[in-house]
Structure 1
Amino acid sequence: MSIVVGYIPTPEGRAALRASAEEAKLRGTRLVVVNSQPGGRQYDEHEARRFEDELATITRTLDQIGVESEVRTLVRGKDPSEDLLSIAAECDARLIVIGLRRRSPVGKLILGSNAQELLLKSTCPVLAVKADATDRG
């Protein structure tokens, strides 16, 4: 059993990571951090190195607070929701954690497509969190 979190280096991603680490510690379970990248020109060598450094820091931090973790960077060209659902099924996830960004009044009518896909297709609970001041930098 595990908790799966979708992580990107944004305030929303940091909020999801924080919440998932708290849940993993509370439940005494492993945390699988998933960084899903589109690949292609958007993911160059410099960007890859930056993500690797940040994910290594995350791993050290989780170790320090006593959360067993695994970090997976996926560059398969799939939607992040597909990657998260796939990893959640593989890891027998008990929870998926995602960060949501604030939206305009019109944007509130429809969740982001990845969040909507996760909520509709996940076989386990999905915790959606918003960033607060501590996540912004």
Structure 2
Amino acid sequence: MTIVVGYLATAEGAAALDAAMTEATRRSSRLIVLVSQRRGEDTAVLEASLEHVRTVLDEAGLGYEVRQVERGRDVADDLIDAAEASDAELIVIGLRRRSPVGELILGSNAQRILLDATTPVLAVKSA
């Protein structure tokens, strides 16, 4: 089976990756990690993020695939599509705190994933 996880180089991304690794170990599952680039982030930072994720997963001895999310695409759609295409058993996402006004104005990828995914979703917060 497969677990899909969204990763950004943030505390929330690290929490999502940690939770996904725990679930993958517990379930003997393979990971698909979708790494996205933050707005305004340099390409070198993205490459460092990709390398970091691969190193962490290699050290954990987990089976995985790392995919870079294309800029301009909707991250929520990418995660849901990856989960459906791989017949994933779980999607793992990191949550960050937002004010109610920020949620209303900016929308929320996390909310879209929680509401639109047919796959179960594990949402985690950073410590």
Q: Give the TM-score band, short-chain normalised.
A: 0.7 to 0.9
The count of corresponding residues between Structure 1 and Structure 2 is 126
Q: Which residue of 2 aligns with 1:73?
A: 68
1:127 aligns with 2:122: yes
Indicate the residue corresponding to 2:25 in structure 1.
25
Residues 1-137 of structure 1 correspond to what in structure 2 (within 5 A)?
Answer: 1-37=1-37, 42=40, 47-104=42-99, 106=100, 113-132=108-127
Give the C-alpha shift of residue 107 in structure 1: 5.3
What is the root-mean-square deviation of aligned Cα atoms in Å? 2.3
Structure 2 unmatched ranges of 5 or more: none
TM-score by length of 2: 0.87
Q: Is the 8 A contact 1:38 1:77 kept in 2?
A: no
What letter matches 1:79 in structure 2? D
| Unaligned 5+ runs, structure 1 | 133-137
Cα distance change, pair 64–109 in 1 and its aligned pair in 2 (3 A): closer
Identity of aligned residues (%): 49
